[in-house]
Amino acid sequence: MNIKKILVGTAAGAVMLGSMAIPVLAAKPANDVLVKNWFVYNRSSDFAKLWDDNKATVLDNGGVGFTFNNVGATTWYTAYLKAHYNGDLTGKTITANVSVTEDNATFVTRGDGSTSTVGIVIKSAEGNWGVNDYWWPTNRQLLSALGTDVDIIASTSDSNRANWINICGLPATDATIHSGPDCVGGTYPAESPYDGFTNALKNVKEVGLSFGGSGYARGVALTGGTASFQLNSFTVAE
């Protein structure tokens, strides 16, 4: 089995994020070309198109982590933890090993109040993007129930198409070419979700995790307590 590990590293030191202690790396191994910069994408609850992105803190196990924001006068909700990929994910198995550490935390999803979840996401476009450029598998995990070293696994094999949906919730098995306005203020492309998923896998630009509820990247924050999220490893296997 050919496995491509996106996150690797060696131990050194620690840094405080909020009230949570998260170990960090002093340096990344120079000979490891698979080490990526991972970014945390937060969105404002007050301004729909206002985003902020920051490098995630590197952990001593080679993973990355961040602390969730608390709801306040101006609240930032964490929507994505992503890295650049630039490759073909056709017929691959993606595994994200994750951990959540919390202290009296209550997770809340921006806008719709649905149960807060986390799951894998892929994106096939940079800059302007369309409905068939963002894809999520439906096997998401409850943030409030996650412990340590939990594997979130998604397969892009043809037999698993039904488990993937695009940003408008259309499954990768849908062979219909839709028309008219889409769910994100644009127009449906002249390709079916089926073809869109096939084409997206061939040219993936970003991989990572999304945080949300019924809207998979609405964003998640806390209404109390503290909580940190750790992506311990992110691997792609044949």
When divided into structural domains, the chain yields a total of: 1
Give the tokens for residue 14. Answer: 């620690």
Per-residue tens of pLDDT for the chain, all 238 residues: 556 555 533 333 333 333 333 333 233 333 232 345 899 999 988 777 788 999 999 888 778 999 999 998 678 999 999 998 888 999 999 999 999 999 999 999 998 778 999 999 999 987 678 899 999 999 999 999 999 999 999 999 999 999 999 999 999 999 999 999 998 888 999 999 999 999 999 999 999 999 999 888 999 999 999 999 999 988 998 8
Query: Of 91, 92, 81, which Cα lies nearest the Cα of 57?
Result: 81
The strand ranges marked E within 156-203 are 164-166
| C-alpha 205 chain-centroid distance | 13
Q: Please say whether the beta carbons of 205 and 125 come within 8 A.
A: yes
Going through the chain in order, the beta strands assigned E by DSSP cover 3-5, 14-17, 20-23, 39-44, 51-55, 57-58, 64-67, 76-87, 93-103, 107-109, 117-123, 134-137, 141-142, 150-155, 164-166, 204-212, 220-222, 226-237
> What is the pTM (predicted TM-score) of this model?
0.84
Domain that holds residue 11: 3-237
